[in-house]
């Protein structure tokens, strides 16, 4: 009997034990909150929005009523000379790139190289198989060969007598450059001819007549007729026959 009565007494006192534990926990919680409010620091306050205000408010900015607030989405770039740069590359204008396009050609520039002569920009013609010397803005008929009508020596070099350049010898001041057109083909100058032209203080450029005429036209336009001279043999020249053989 004694063994069965003891468990019943324990079960009767359990509700009172739970109530005591609950009261103790409640008191401990109140004591903890009271201690925290006295001795622990309070949490930091949220930042004030007054400190985050912009320096200039919208009301402090004055915008003229006539000012347009519309900003175009299309922006133009400008070059160093304040010229607008288009969005798309324009077509190349080669006329604007031609530095000598507005410079008039000299009247002694070669317009046509004929088989037996030349036609100048001024309209004058040199024919009958004669050559031409262009110097100082003037044109002179030129015949540097002799009765045998030969300009090439036994070594295959282009050679003429000193008298062939007597006009340049009498001229002063002389041009800086002499363009030589030796006919339909290029040949080396003989040492004697080269030495004589160098003694006149001339720089020499040797070409066939077609290219020599083109070179003279360009240089005379660019540098002037006083700086550049030309001595040209007709493109129809043949050794021993000449340029007039019809």
Mean pLDDT of 89-111: 70
Mean pLDDT over each residue of the chain, to the nearest integer: 78
pLDDT given for residue 67 in this prediction: 47
Lowest mean pLDDT among 14-18, 65-69, 85-89, 203-207: 65-69
- Binned at pLDDT 50, 70 and 90, residue 105 comes out as confident
| Residues in CB range of 12: below 8 A, 6 or more apart | none
Q: Does domain 110-232 have CATH number 3.40.1230.10?
A: yes
pLDDT given for residue 129 in this prediction: 94
Mean pLDDT of 103-132: 91
Check pLDDT > 90 for residue 132: yes
Q: Bigger pLDDT: 163 or 17?
A: 163
Per-position DSSP letters for the chain, written without gaps between them? -HHHHHHHHHHHHHHHHHHHHHHHHHHHHHHHHHHHHHHSPPPPPPPPGGGG--SS-GGG----TTS-----S---EE-TTSPEEPSSPPPP-HHHH-TTTTSPPPTTSEEEEETTEEEETTS-EE-TT-EEEEETTEEEEE----TT---B-TTS-B---GGGGHHHHH-SSPPSEEEEE-SSS--PBPHHHHHHHHHTT-EEEEE-HHHHHHHHHHHHHHH-TTTEEEEE--TT-BTTTBS---
Check pLDDT > 60 for residue 51: no
- Binned at pLDDT 50, 70 and 90, residue 245 comes out as confident
Tell me how far apart the alpha carbons of residues 231 and 183 are, in angstroms, rounded to a whole number.
10
CB 124 within 8 A of CB 245: no
Give the model confidence (pLDDT) of 65-81 as tens digits: 544 444 444 555 666 66
Q: Bigger pLDDT: 5 or 151?
A: 151
Backbone angles phi, psi at 135, to 5 degrees: -155, 140
């Amino acid at each position: 009997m004694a063994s069965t009565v003891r468990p019943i007494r324990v079960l009767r006192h359990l509700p009172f034990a739970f109530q005591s534990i609950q009261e103790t926990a409640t008191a401990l919680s109140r004591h903890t909150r009271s201690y925290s409010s006295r001795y622990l620091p309070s949490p930091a306050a949220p930042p004030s929005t007054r400190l985050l205000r912009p320096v200039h408010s919208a009301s402090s900015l004055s915008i003229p009523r006539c000012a347009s607030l519309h900003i175009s989405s299309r922006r133009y770039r400008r070059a160093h000379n304040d010229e607008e740069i288009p969005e798309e590359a324009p077509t190349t204008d080669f006329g604007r790139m031609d530095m000598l396009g507005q410079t008039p050609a000299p009247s002694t520039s070669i317009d046509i190289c004929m088989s037996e002569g030349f036609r100048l920009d001024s309209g004058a013609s040199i024919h009958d198989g004669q050559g031409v010397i262009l110097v100082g803005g003037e044109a002179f008929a030129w015949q540097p060969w002799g009765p045998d009508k030969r300009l090439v020596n036994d070594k295959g070099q282009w050679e003429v007598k000193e008298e062939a350049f007597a006009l340049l010898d009498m001229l002063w001041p002389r041009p800086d450059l002499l363009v030589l057109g030796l006919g339909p083909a290029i040949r080396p100058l003989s040492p004697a001819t080269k030495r004589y032209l160098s003694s006149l203080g001339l720089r020499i450029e040797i070409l066939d007549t077609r290219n020599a005429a083109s070179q003279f036209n360009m240089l005379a336009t660019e540098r002037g007729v006083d700086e550049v001279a030309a001595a040209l043999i007709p493109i129809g020249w043949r050794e021993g026959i000449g340029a007039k053989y019809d």
